[in-house]
Chains A and B, each alone.
Chain A
Amino acid sequence: MQPQLFRIDDRLIHGQVVVGWARNLKSNRIILCDDDVACNDWERELYLSCVVQTVETLVMNTEETSRYLADESHDVRKTIVLVKSPDVVEELIGFGYTPVSVNLGGIHFADNRKEFLPYLFLNDDEIKCLRSLESRGVEIYCQDVPTSKKYNLTEILLL
């Protein structure tokens, strides 16, 4: 069973996810997968405060998330999974869970990153990581909000 949306977004839980995706997809659960947030009570509360009460939010580290998603007894058909960077997907695979399809929803400008889309800036290591995921059969597409155009990764990297 696959989650309804598996998303890479360096802002994790924010308006685009809560208003844009969760409402549109009628999600009932968000899994925030991040090692730092999972062990910081203050940050965990900050992200939880951004979500409406009708959507259950779980904050877990990478190992816990991998175990959770690999367990077929969890119904994740109405679940959104959020990670902040491509290397977290790599770690999840290392722990035993491989997503079928990954939404590249937002990686913003920082040093050494090049712009590919207004919401997508990538450095060489990130591109390498994404290509490696693709070569192992993970579908990767770029889309910030449900109403915007969807691009596949290869198409964007050629721009």
Chain B
Amino acid sequence: MAQRYRVMHRIAAFIITHGDVASALKDALEKITGAHENIFTYSNKSDALPVLRQKILEQKAETAAEHTVIFVDFAGGSCWALGAMIQKEFEDVRLVGGVNLPMLVSFFTNQNQMEFDPLIKKIANDGRRGIVVQPEVE
């Protein structure tokens, strides 16, 4: 039987969103960057927030990464409230609202090249820079 090696990751990424946005984002991201084992997706569709919180904390414990980043789609919604509660509880967690594909591509491109907090700052900026209007409008 082939032995399974567990790949340890420095950072675990959790995406929590409305509807199926999280899993669709992961799917799209992996089309661009290839598969990732340190990304976990959750929807607030059916589960009560304490149930969702429990699932995330169990996965966080199992993954045993040094740092955790939680991405949510909408700052100020229920996913954000849940992320904020987890972030408050754990020193190694950062919460980022307004997740988009440019932000995630930046995360997976730079995750092993930078210190954790500068990385978070960079990917938030790259997410903002990914919003472009053409032609320029008044």
Q: Which residues of A contact B (CB under 8 A)?
A: 10-11, 14-15, 18, 42, 46-47, 49-50, 107-111, 115, 118, 121
Contact = CB atoms under 8 A, between A and B. Distances in A.
Interface in B51-86: 51, 74, 76-78, 80-81, 84-85
B50 A110 contact: yes
A109 B106 CA distance: 34
Nearest to B88: A42
B28 interface: no
A109 B47 contact: yes
A123 to B, nearest CB: 11
A115 B80 CA distance: 25
A109 B77 contact: no
A115 B81 CA distance: 24
Given A15-B74, A42-B88, A50 B81 contact: yes
B76 A50 contact: yes
Given A14-B81, A15-B18, A46-B81, A108 B76 contact: no
A10 B88 CA distance: 20
A121 B47 CA distance: 9
A133 B50 CA distance: 26
Contacts of A107: 48
Nearest to A47: B81
B51 A108 contact: yes
Contacts of B84: 46
Given A42-B88, A108-B48, A121-B46, A11 B18 contact: no
B97 to A, nearest CB: 11
Given A109-B46, A118-B45, 17 more contacts: A10-B49, A11-B78, A11-B81, A14-B77, A14-B78, A18-B76, A46-B81, A46-B84, A46-B85, A49-B76, A107-B48, A108-B46, A108-B51, A109-B47, A109-B48, A118-B46, A121-B48
A110 B78 contact: no
A108 B47 CA distance: 5
A26 B26 CA distance: 37
A110 B81 contact: no
A15 B47 CA distance: 16
Nearest to B47: A109
26 contacts: A10-B48, A10-B49, A11-B49, A11-B78, A11-B81, A14-B81, A15-B76, A15-B77, A42-B88, A46-B84, A46-B85, A47-B81, A50-B80, A50-B81, A107-B48, A108-B46, A108-B47, A109-B47, A109-B48, A110-B48, A110-B50, A111-B51, A118-B45, A118-B46, A121-B46, A121-B48
